């Protein structure tokens, strides 16, 4: 009866996810309501999705009531009462709008993993970012479509590495690199640095900083600078330049691993990849490349994304051969759900920032071949040592 909203599947877990996805879209729409005339219509439509998922007499019954809910932990919504297998405690604790009605760090870091296309009449507005309305796999497929047109493995690897190594930069420098290397750029290409990633000194002088891990522009909040993706944990404080035209600096304010302090870059002529491509291509890709380079440094031979991305890493170490699929999800619940829905073609590896998820994954999927980065690198060392002694 309600399939025009719900789609063919409509169990409790699917309704719960639909609430999270609609809340994500509503939060973003509310934050830009003064910029886009149709934003309030989006909030109203997402209120309808949330109401339908809750059922009569439960949940927010108006757009203003929904917005109030977005300023509190999502777990306070009645949809979370039944919890059970469908509930993700990290999502339940997430707040989507801050005290200034801006999307919180959890929105881009965690909740976006629950984005999905909503069925029927809820077509996305042009101003609605991909990460609020598309499943991660959809964004990746859309991004990679232009990379695999030649069906050349070599071209595919070169173009994908380019995106990960160069998610932002000077338009002129990027254009020259594309021209000299012959790589293909994703269909959505590069766009201007978003306003929340700029440090404005004068009306004509703005700066941005690349994340030390993923190189995408970090978010600027007052004098604080950090990557939206929480595992890229460095937090910095801006040190203004001596004059309005001087280059500002950064000083580290957290106690995490020491990283090189990035240098401020001028916003003029700067561009970056679409936020959805950053979150679901560049972020995991940075871990894949880092792991590839670490294994090669150990002495292994590594091929990236074999068979046009059937899996992530093909590793030869001494007499042993390994096929690895790196899985980097902030939500272990989403990771488990996606692994159940789609059987991986290689052994699953949790990168160093996500090794704490191992026990949960093994408990939920006991037959799954899964390891951690630390364990796998030790396994490769043993295989290389075995190769040298035989």
Task: Compute the distance between CA of residue 77 and CA of residue 43 in angstroms, rounded to an integer.
Answer: 17
Q: List the Cα angle 15/19/22 in 5-degree steps.
A: 130
Which residue is it, tokens 């005290």? 99
Confidence (pTM): 0.90
Helix pair angle (283-298, 373-389), 10° resolution: 20
Instruction: Give the per-residue pLDDT at 182.
Output: 84
The two beta strands, 270-273 and 190-192, are: antiparallel
Q: What is the pLDDT along the chain (390 residues), one digit of tens a residue?
A: 344 344 444 567 788 889 999 999 999 999 999 999 999 999 999 999 999 988 888 889 999 999 999 999 999 998 887 554 445 889 999 999 999 999 999 999 999 999 988 865 556 788 999 999 999 998 988 888 877 777 789 989 999 999 999 999 999 999 999 889 888 887 667 999 999 999 999 989 999 999 999 999 999 999 999 999 999 988 999 999 988 889 999 999 875 666 788 999 999 999 999 999 999 999 999 999 999 999 999 999 999 999 989 999 999 999 999 999 999 999 999 999 999 999 999 999 999 999 999 999 999 999 999 999 999 999 999 999 988 876
Residue 250 DSSP one-character state: E
Q: Residue 86 and residue 15: Cα distance in Å, rounded?
A: 10
What are the pLDDT digits (tens) for 217-250? Answer: 999 999 999 999 999 988 999 999 988 889 999 9
Domain ranges within the chain, ordered by starting residue: 3-134, 140-275, 277-389
Q: Look at phi and psi of residue 84 and say left if phi exceeds 0, alpha if psi is from -120 to 50, else beta.
A: left
Q: Cα(369)–Cα(352) distance, rounded to whole angstroms? A: 17
């Amino acid at each position: 009866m309600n399939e025009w909203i719900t789609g063919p599947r409509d169990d409790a877990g699917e309704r719960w996810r639909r609430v999270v996805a609609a809340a994500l879209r509503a939060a973003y729409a509310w934050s830009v309501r003064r910029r886009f005339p149709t934003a309030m219509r989006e909030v109203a439509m997402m209120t309808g999705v949330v109401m339908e998922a809750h059922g009569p007499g439960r949940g927010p019954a108006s757009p203003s009531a929904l917005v109030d809910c977005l300023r509190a932990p999502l777990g306070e919504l009645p949809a979370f009462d039944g919890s059970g297998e469908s509930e993700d405690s990290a999502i339940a604790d997430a707040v989507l709008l801050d005290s200034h009605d801006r999307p919180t760090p959890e929105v881009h870091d965690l909740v976006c993993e629950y984005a999905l296309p909503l069925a029927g009449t809820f077509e996305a507005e042009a101003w609605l970012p991909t990460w609020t309305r598309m499943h991660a796999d959809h964004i990746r497929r859309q991004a990679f479509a232009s990379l695999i047109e030649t069906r050349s493995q070599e071209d595919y690897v070169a173009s994908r590495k380019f995106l990960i190594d160069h998610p932002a930069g000077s338009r002129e420098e990027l254009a020259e690199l594309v021209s000299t290397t012959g790589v293909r750029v994703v269909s959505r290409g590069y766009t201007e640095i978003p306003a929340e990633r700029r440090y404005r000194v004068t009306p004509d002088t703005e700066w941005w900083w690349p994340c030390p891990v993923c190189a995408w522009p970090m978010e600027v909040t007052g004098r604080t600078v950090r990557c939206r993706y929480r595992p890229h944990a460095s937090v910095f404080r801006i040190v203004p330049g001596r004059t309005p035209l001087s280059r500002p600096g950064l000083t580290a304010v957290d106690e995490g691993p020491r990283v090189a302090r990035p240098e401020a870059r001028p916003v003029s002529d700067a561009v970056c990849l679409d936020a959805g491509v950053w979150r679901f291509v560049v972020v995991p890709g940075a871990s894949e490349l880092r792991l590839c380079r670490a294994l090669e440094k150990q002495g292994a031979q590594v091929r990236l994304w074999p068979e046009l991305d059937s899996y992530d890493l093909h590793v030869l170490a001494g007499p042993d051969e390994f096929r690895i699929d790196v899985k980097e999800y902030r939500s272990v619940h989403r990771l488990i759900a996606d692994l159940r829905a789609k059987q991986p073609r290689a052994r699953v590896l949790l990168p160093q920032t996500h090794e704490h998820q191992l026990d949960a994954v093994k408990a939920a999927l006991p037959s799954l071949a899964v390891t951690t980065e630390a364990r796998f690198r030790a396994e490769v060392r043993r295989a290389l040592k075995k190769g040298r002694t035989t």
